[in-house]
Structure 1
Amino acid sequence: MSTPDVRKGMPPVRLSREEFEKRYRRRFADPVFAPLAHELDAVIAAAWDAYSHSRKAPVTRRAGEGFADPDYEIAVDWLAAREAILQAQRAHQDISRPPCILVINGSPRSEHSCPGEMSKSWRLLERAHQVFSEMGYIVNDLDLSRLTSEFGNEIHPCKSCVSTAMPLCHWPCSCYPNYALGQTDDWMNEIYRLWVAAHGIMIITPVHWYQAPTVLKAMMDRLVCADGGNPDPSSTHGKVATEAKALELEGWPYPKHLAGRYFSVAVHGDAVGAETLRRSLSDWLTDMSLISAGRMGETDGYVGYMEPYATSHQALDDDRAFQQEVENAAHALGRAVQLARAGRLEEPGRGLTDPSPK
């Protein structure tokens, strides 16, 4: 194979000073900011300086021992995220601690934003949480509806570094924060820690247009770095594509950073797509080398099938069978983690070598 080149040719995205200022000022359309015009002028000038000089990570320090290039200046934000993950991994491996379950609400719907009403996924999450608590687990709830209802909380889109070369995708993700572009307040560093600490993960979600809701899919895409990601950004000197390509072609191991954790999935809909999404989520989690809690740990169904949206919560009240299916999925996951911790449940493929690890 010939040495790969780095392909270029997309249209430029650099803004003019005038366009940059126009976009920046839109954030301050509320008349309450009018008396602060002088101060805003100064802030915008500083922001333009950061943007025009592409200061993605303005605060760095020497990487130090344990990195491929100890002298590489690495972002302190990334180092903090890495340390949180290492602490979570130590907690995960500490057999003196109770095991941990992460329960995820994949719905963007919240009574605290435009819908004005809680989500059915959150109600089902509460039932699963109770099951895990009664089984003696530490339970962490991850409510992705906070992306639509909480100020300053973002999951920025994946930039697809993987498709340039796997080592360019760092674990944890180093694409954010990007201060020059105003891409801050990214939630994923906290979410990575929750996934790493967990022994079991349960996802409860609605189906939106045959697919995962936007908030859930955003998290899924940003977890790509857990599936083969590079834990040492100094080995590619940040985002140097040529170095990443060379490193992958030398023989990249595609490390599975979340391997061995167990999962369950509960998907609900009102008309179509629930089974398809349930299978898609199961395939995704299995690809990351997580282990299914079995047939009872994966469920899908319809709440108020083809009935008015306005009565969907009443439909859930009446659908005791589906509530029981979700509780069963929680029990199955809880038991799988218990058996694994006792050494009585092992991944059948453990020890086998995957000839195509990508």
Structure 2
Amino acid sequence: MTDVRKGQAPDLLDRDAFGARFRDNFVDPAFGAEREAIGRIEQIAWLGYQGERKAPHKREAGPGYADPGVELSDEWRANSERLKARQAAWSEAASPSRVLVICGSDRNDGTCPGEMSKSFRLAKLAEQTAQQAGMEVDLLDLSLLSSEYGRRIHPCKGCVSTAMPLCHWPCTCYPNHGLNQTNDWMAEIYERWVSAHAIIIATPVYWYQSPSSLKLMIDRLVCADGGNPDPTTTQGKDAAKAKALELAGWDYPKHLAGRAYGVIVHGDVAGIEGTRRALSDWLDWMGLIDAGAEARLDRYIGYYEPYATSHDALDADTAVQEEARNVARAVTHAVGELRAGRLQAV
């Protein structure tokens, strides 16, 4: 049995450091009148942090799990049951075809940039085209992470790198109430992916890479590729048990396989080809099925032109607008072929 390596994590914060971080949430003078009440809540939060109360609401797993006596978080169990129901509905031949269109930009006009993103406009073109083809469309705008109160996608903690079975489907790393790692949007986003027969991602390039909001979602979807649907097999987060389970043989279930995809990547100077390839490789790896050459688009909009006129450049670039529509057309066609049994992964 391989060792579980230790020695990186620091000690817990002391009481003063914890209190300083907690009170940073209440620096607005408007909270001043409630200083005593905030102090009492701080003490409760401190006890939760000290006691590492990750999941305050939990109960025994019960029938249907490998170890019925292991306690599972009520929040995780509810998430898992919703995914199972969504997957069952997705599998029904009579269910309506559904596409998830994702805007991967961090920018919108509700926050500091003061202007909508071009990715949002391209995503809307894809949405309208898919709707015209008779698809139900769910538009996921990841820019809400930068503009909506309390909206969060917490980072992946890398459980899979310890052992694949330690990475649970859906993710059990969050919420962690003791660390104030709550309001995790991924619980909802997992449902939206599972419900979709196809995915279209429209994204800009930020410094040769996907934007941070999109990358957060990508990393947290690692549990869809080989993730363990039964946390009782690893006694929750027991690294040694997970390693033993993986070494005994793990089947790497692909929970999102069989869905079609398309990508729309745009930039202004460089990086579009690499980003498009990275997104396509990732989706291929998860078992999604590309909808053909027309569904993998990378284009420059306003190449080496001022950012201030980039929306004007998109207005004038009717060819790119039509190519974005073509991505949606290719994807909706692929969904029809998939559901009719005439298309499958190679």
TM-score per shorter chain, which class?
Answer: over 0.9
The one-letter code sitting in structure 2 at the alignment partner of 1:257 is H
The one-letter code sitting in structure 1 at the alignment partner of 2:233 is S
Residue by residue over 1:146-202, the C-alpha shift from the partner in whole angstroms, topping out at 9 and shown as x without a partner, is 000001110000000001100000000000000000000000010001111111000
| Aligned counterpart in structure 1 of residue 123 of structure 2, from 99, 122, 125 | 125
How many percent of aligned residue pairs carry the same amino acid? 55
Establish whether residue 313 from structure 1 lines up as the match of residue 311 from structure 2. yes
The one-letter code sitting in structure 2 at the alignment partner of 1:115 is P
The one-letter code sitting in structure 2 at the alignment partner of 1:213 is P
CA distance in 2, matches of 1:69, 1:137: 41
Which residue does 1:209 correspond to in 2?
A: 207
The one-letter code sitting in structure 1 at the alignment partner of 2:251 is P
Shift in alpha-carbon separation, 1:315–1:36, aligned structure 2, 3 A: same
| Aligned counterpart in structure 2 of residue 32 of structure 1, from 19, 30, 33 | 30
- Using the TM superposition, give the Cα deviation of residue 11 of structure 1 relative to its aligned residue in structure 2, in angstroms: 4.6
Contact 2:61 2:71 in 1 (8 A): yes
Contact 2:119 2:204 in 1 (8 A): yes
CA distance in 2, matches of 1:324, 1:13: 55
Which residue does 2:7 correspond to in 1?
A: 9
Contact 2:258 2:344 in 1 (8 A): no
Which residue does 2:322 correspond to in 1?
A: 324
CA distance in 2, matches of 1:182, 1:164: 24
CA distance in 2, matches of 1:339, 1:172: 29
TM-score (norm 2): 0.99
| Aligned counterpart in structure 2 of residue 72 of structure 1, from 53, 70, 92 | 70
CA distance in 2, matches of 1:252, 1:346: 24
Which residue does 2:40 correspond to in 1?
A: 42
- Using the TM superposition, give the Cα deviation of residue 344 of structure 1 relative to its aligned residue in structure 2, in angstroms: 2.0
- Using the TM superposition, give the Cα deviation of residue 87 of structure 1 relative to its aligned residue in structure 2, in angstroms: 1.4
CA distance in 2, matches of 1:274, 1:13: 42
| Aligned counterpart in structure 2 of residue 295 of structure 1, from 275, 293, 296 | 293
Residue by residue over 1:202-249, the C-alpha shift from the partner in whole angstroms, topping out at 9 and shown as x without a partner, is 000000000000000000000000000000001101100010000001
Which residue does 1:286 correspond to in 2?
A: 284
Which residue does 1:135 correspond to in 2?
A: 133
Gaps of 5+ in 2: none
Helix, strand or coil: the match of 1:251? coil
- Using the TM superposition, give the Cα deviation of residue 252 of structure 1 relative to its aligned residue in structure 2, in angstroms: 0.4
Helix, strand or coil: the match of 1:193? helix
Which residue does 2:172 correspond to in 1?
A: 174
Which residue does 1:154 correspond to in 2?
A: 152
Helix, strand or coil: the match of 1:191? helix
CA distance in 2, matches of 1:94, 1:146: 32
- Using the TM superposition, give the Cα deviation of residue 97 of structure 1 relative to its aligned residue in structure 2, in angstroms: 1.8
Helix, strand or coil: the match of 1:205? strand
Establish whether residue 84 from structure 1 lines up as the match of residue 49 from structure 2. no
Helix, strand or coil: the match of 1:147? helix
Residue by residue over 1:63-100, the C-alpha shift from the partner in whole angstroms, topping out at 9 and shown as x without a partner, is 11110111111000100110111111012112212111
Establish whether residue 197 from structure 1 lines up as the match of residue 195 from structure 2. yes
- Using the TM superposition, give the Cα deviation of residue 340 of structure 1 relative to its aligned residue in structure 2, in angstroms: 1.3
- Using the TM superposition, give the Cα deviation of residue 302 of structure 1 relative to its aligned residue in structure 2, in angstroms: 0.4
Helix, strand or coil: the match of 1:333? helix
Aligned length: 346
Contact 2:289 2:344 in 1 (8 A): no
Which residue does 2:345 correspond to in 1?
A: 347
TM-score (norm 1): 0.96
CA distance in 2, matches of 1:59, 1:345: 44
Shift in alpha-carbon separation, 1:8–1:339, aligned structure 2, 3 A: same
Root-mean-square deviation (CA, aligned residues, Å) is: 0.7
Which residue does 2:274 correspond to in 1?
A: 276
CA distance in 2, matches of 1:6, 1:105: 39
Which residue does 2:234 correspond to in 1?
A: 236
Which residue does 1:351 correspond to in 2?
A: none
Contact 2:89 2:195 in 1 (8 A): yes
Which residue does 2:250 correspond to in 1?
A: 252
The one-letter code sitting in structure 2 at the alignment partner of 1:70 is P
Which residue does 1:354 correspond to in 2?
A: none
Helix, strand or coil: the match of 2:304? coil
The one-letter code sitting in structure 2 at the alignment partner of 1:200 is A
CA distance in 1, matches of 2:187, 2:11: 27
Matches within 5 A, 1:91-130: 91-130=89-128
The one-letter code sitting in structure 2 at the alignment partner of 1:180 is G
